[in-house]
Structure 1
Amino acid sequence: MAILISIAIVGWAYRTAISDPIVRFATVEMLPAESSQKQLRILFLSDVHVAGPDMPPERLSQIVRQANAQRPDAVLIAGDFVSDKALATKRFSLENAIAPLGDLKSRFGTFAVLGNHDHWRSAAAAYSALRRAGINVLDNSAARAGPLVIGGLDDAFTHHDDLSATLRAMAALGGEPVLLSHSPDPFPRVPAEVKLMLAGHTHCGQIRLPLVGAISYMSEYGDKYACGVVIEHGKTLVVGAGLGTSLLPLRLGAVPDMWLIVVKRRSRSLMPRAEPPINAAFRVG
């Protein structure tokens, strides 16, 4: 009986891993009250992890169509485009893994940073493939997206991040700051004027066992910045569960997701609001 239950759980976890991503929603008021732009729609993706059996390029192409249906003004991707997990049935080149992302459509374009798996495979090849796909790669640098300035922090897990350089690049361009990072761990060091940070890497635990919880969040802060929306010192952090998998092609208690974040004009008079729960729809003031 125990063997049958184990097989059923593994089957369920694999089916969850290959399921269509849930679209989660957040609203952040951060545009100036006098801005001519009423709102912007940021689509946030992370941890694509292209590899067989769970995330071949064909599945990623389907997810891209789902992403385009959200009608984003900008798409931000928080790295880890490939997965070299030991149980992968097929590994793909960075070129083939990233190519489907070239079909993403938005008004201001697609912006990305690298993750630890991309550095472990080949950062140079990842940069090249992303640029050929028409994606703006940010490596401790910044770019404008309409009224927003997107700062791209290189991967902190492999110690390629330079927050000071990224902040300087953002300040030089001006605009309302949004910080994109593969890992959420730099969040405590981010200054208060950066109201929104987006990160992945944790997979929201990927495999969360009943009573035990996640095997690992791959964060030095444990579950503090593990998943969903965190509000701290006036800053908002959104951590996605990601699209693909690492180590095992399984997900349990942490479904694939993408985030649609509506950035709106600040109210002229904002009332304090309580911190929201993790993994729900949010309005953040």
Structure 2
Amino acid sequence: MTRKRWKKRLLFFLMALILLPVLLLGWARYIEPHLLLVTHLKADTGQTGAQCRVVFFSDTHFSSSYGKEEAAALAQKINQLEPDIVLFGGDFLDSYARDQQTLELDAICEALDSINAPGGKFAVWGNHDYGGGASRVYPELMEQCGFTLLKNEYITLEDYSVTIIGCDDVMLGSRTMQQLPEDGNFHLVLAHEPASLGLLDGSAEGIMLTGHTHGGQIYLPFLTEQVLPPGSDGYIRGLYAQEETQLLSNGLYVSRGIGTTHLPLRLFNPPEIVELELSPT
């Protein structure tokens, strides 16, 4: 290889070395946070009720840079799935104290109120819903969005033979043991942090749905698990089978969430909505 040719290859390599981080940063900032994907799950309820489509989303982290347009797109995406039940896993706002003057909360709530779910819409508290003064407004906001807020309580939907158990946030809420009702229904356990799994008592047919981790937000194998936020208990993202959770027949699902926090970046970790098809026997 000639010296001139070697220099050209070296120059090309150096340019690629410089451009790749720039391209990745641009992708992580402007493209991937808006790639709203749908993850499809199925579960056999073992019941005789009607078939049911559940849509679960979490961690919207609405802020001055993530607001009414994103809320409208989210609501449209959920409505296209034609859900029977919609569940929200908390962290509605990113920082109410910081963003309250710029947040267009009425428009955001109007968008989420347009989500249609004949079986009902239900939500729980996240740590950001308690922090930064958000606890004063979160219950009212959820009501304005058309969601029933569950706090260490459960509700039974007889039409679907489904019981929804809503756990309080384990970081800033009340760490209360939740007894799984022995009602013969399929259980949808809704919580913000995966650590809530340790506060369940009993075993049942069902699945636990959580958020909080954002899947690491920037996902790097072997590194992400080292920097997960408190309350993750080592769970990162995706489905963890019954063998790993011991309590619920269909295990634990940890959502990658919708929005971002701390940094407006997502990499190898696009936001997601979870569609869960419940099929009777």
**Would you say same fold, with TM above 0.5?**
yes
1:12 Cα offset (Å) = 0.9
- 1:176 counterpart = 2:186: yes
TM-score by length of 1: 0.80
Shift of 1:36: 3.9
Q: Give 1:23 deviation, angstroms.
A: 0.3
Q: Number of aligned residue pairs: give it.
A: 257
For residues 193 and 113 of structure 1, the distance between their equivalents in structure 2, rounded to whole angstroms, comes to 21
Q: Give the SS at the match of 1:18.
A: helix
CA contact (8 A) 1:113 1:182 kept: yes
What is the correspondence of 1:28-177 to structure 2 with a 5 Å cutoff?
Answer: 28-32=43-47, 35-37=48-50, 39-53=51-65, 55-84=66-95, 91-92=102-103, 96-120=107-131, 121-145=133-157, 146=159, 147-164=161-178, 167=179, 175-177=185-187
Give me the CA root mean square deviation: 2.8
Partner of residue 207, structure 2:
196
Give the structure-2-normalised TM-score: 0.81
Q: CA deviation at 1:228?
A: 0.7
Deviation at residue 100 of structure 1 after TM alignment:
2.1
CA offsets, 1:17-75, max 9 Å, x none? 4323110011111242xx142x211000000111132x212111111101010011100
What amino acid is aligned across from residue 78 of structure 1 in structure 2?
Answer: G
Change (3 A) 1:84 1:128: same
Partner secondary structure for residue 195 of structure 2: coil
Further displaced range: 101-110 or 12-21: 12-21
Report the residue type matching 2:196 in the other structure.
Answer: P
Q: Give 1:194 deviation, angstroms.
A: 5.2
Alignment of 1:25 with 2:40, yes or no, is: yes
Cα gap change, 1:25 to 1:108, in 2 (>3 Å): same
Whether the 8 Å contact between 1:142 and 1:151 is mirrored in structure 2 is yes
2:240 to 230, 235, 240: 230
Residue aligned with 1:247, SS: coil
Structure 2 counterpart SS, 1:50: coil
CA shift, 1:226, in A, is: 1.4
Task: Report the Cα distance in structure 2 between the residues aligned to 1:68 and 1:218, rounded to whole angstroms.
Answer: 31
Contact 2:225 2:236 in 1 (8 A): no
Shift of 1:222: 5.1
| Structure 1: gaps (5+ residues) | 267-285
Q: Which amino acid aligns with 1:149?
A: T
Q: Structure 1, residues 168-208: CA drift from partner, whole Å, max 9, x if none? A: 7x56x874321100011122443321521100000011012
C-alpha deviation, 1:216, in angstroms? 2.5
Q: Once structures 1 and 2 are overlaid, which stretch shifts more, 1-10 or 188-197?
A: 1-10
> Greater share of helix residues, 1 or 2?
2
Inter-partner Cα distance in structure 1 for 2:68 and 2:142 = 15
Q: Which 5+ residue runs of structure 2 have no aligned equivalent?
A: 1-14
Q: Distance in 1 between matches of 2:150 and 2:62?
A: 20
Taking only the aligned residue pairs, the percentage that are identical comes to 27
Match in the other structure for 1:265:
280
Aligned equivalent of 2:11: none
Q: Which shows bigger deviation, 201-210 or 243-252?
A: 201-210
- 3-state SS of 1:255 partner: coil
Q: Distance in 1 between matches of 2:142 and 2:90?
A: 11
In structure 1, give the amino acid aligned to 2:167. Answer: L
